[in-house]
Amino acid sequence: MEKQVLAIVVVFLFCLVYTVAIVAQDRSKTSSEQDGVATKAEVHKLGFGKRVDIRLKNGNRATGRITGMAPDHFVITNSKGTASAIAYAEVFQVSPQKEKLGVFDRPWKGIMFTAAGVGQLVVLTMELFN
């Protein structure tokens, strides 16, 4: 019985650590200072509708979805629906945002669902051996 409990605890701890590692990883792309041509190429590569973080040369930041592209600027719309036109030459850095599932916006949610899944696995395993 002790070996079964120990195995269940080890599986639970592995799942917990694995989930925390997945939630904590950052896949954002960073780049050094870009000129207008490189920024334009990056924005066009990301494409229409992609969520981005923009860092401007004057230090300001903008976040939203790419909702328009023109020869000299592009438009991003934030979550509140406010559109901002940004000139390619003003951009210091463009970083795509990771698209998140609603369930895993916060790390504790991932941990909670993993714990619930492992708990269900433990209950089913104990029923199987009894």
Are 15 and 42 part of one and the same domain?
no
Domain that holds residue 14: 1-26+111-130
The pLDDT tens digits of the residues spanning 6-57 come to 778 878 777 777 777 676 654 433 343 346 788 888 888 988 889 999 999 8
pTM here is: 0.50
The pLDDT tens digits of the residues spanning 74-129 come to 999 988 889 999 999 899 889 898 766 655 556 777 788 888 888 888 888 888 88
pLDDT for res 35: 60
Are 44 and 86 part of one and the same domain?
yes
What is the distance between the alpha carbons of residues 67 and 56, in angstroms, rounded to a whole number? 18
Are 54 and 89 part of one and the same domain?
yes
Are 46 and 63 part of one and the same domain?
yes
Burial of 109 (0-12, 13-18, 19+ CB in 10 A): middle
Q: Is residue 102 part of a domain?
A: no
Report the mean per-residue pLDDT for the chain. Answer: 80
Helix/strand/coil (H, E, C) string of the chain? CHHHHHHHHHHHHHHHHHHHHHHHCCCCCCCCCCCHHHHHHHHHHHCCCCEEEEEECCCCEEEEEEEEECCCEEEEECCCCCEEEEEHHHEEEEEECCCCCHHHCCHHHHHHHHHHHHHHHHHHHHHHHC
Q: Is residue 106 part of a domain?
A: no
pLDDT for res 106: 67
Q: Is residue 10 part of a domain?
A: yes
Q: Is residue 103 part of a domain?
A: no
